[in-house]
């Protein structure tokens, strides 16, 4: 079984838990930091709210029914959809989308390879 890690993300008072392959968790953390760094530069009125990357864990057991673990590829797919829908005129949004899509492609390949091994 592949080694997974879990990210804790916070948006306002909402917590999100994202499961990622351990080999790709650092990329999620770096992408989150980069997107936060660039959010203020966007001039569009439709900039999505982005959670803050709080922590990562090797193991996670959720005991409260309010919370669930989100699959890493689902999280990245939703992030890509949010950012691709931005109507930006001033900032070169393509560079941010390229970073999101690069991680998206890596995760797709990783999950395909895991399916083949199973």
- Domain range summary for the chain, segments of one domain joined by +: 4-117
| pTM of the predicted structure, to 2 decimals | 0.92
- Residue 25, token pair as written in the block: 């968790």
DSSP at 40: T
Between CA 51 and CA 32 the distance in angstroms is 8
Contact (Cβ atoms closer than 8 angstroms) between residue 103 and residue 28: yes
Confidence tier at 57 by pLDDT (50, 70, 90): very high
Between CA 91 and CA 75 the distance in angstroms is 24
Residue-wise pLDDT tens digits, 14-31: 999 999 999 999 999 999
Report the first-to-last Cα separation within the chain, whole angstroms: 9
Which of the pair, 88 or 68, is modelled with greater confidence? 68
Between CA 41 and CA 32 the distance in angstroms is 15
Check whether 1 has a pLDDT greater than 70: no
Beta bridge partners of 6: 19, 57
Between CA 107 and CA 19 the distance in angstroms is 12
DSSP at 49: P
């Amino acid at each position: 079984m592949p080694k997974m890690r879990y990210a804790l993300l916070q948006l306002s008072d909402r917590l999100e838990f994202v499961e990622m392959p351990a080999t790709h968790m650092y990329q999620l953390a770096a992408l989150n930091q980069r997107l936060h760094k660039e959010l203020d530069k966007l001039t569009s009125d439709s900039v999505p709210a982005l959670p803050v990357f709080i922590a990562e864990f090797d193991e996670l057991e959720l005991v409260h029914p309010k919370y669930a673990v989100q699959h890493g590829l689902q999280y990245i797919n939703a992030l890509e959809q949010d950012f691709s829908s931005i109507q930006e005129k001033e900032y070169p949004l393509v560079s941010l989308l390229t970073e999101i899509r690069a991680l998206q492609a890596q995760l797709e390949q990783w999950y395909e390879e895991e399916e083949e091994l199973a």
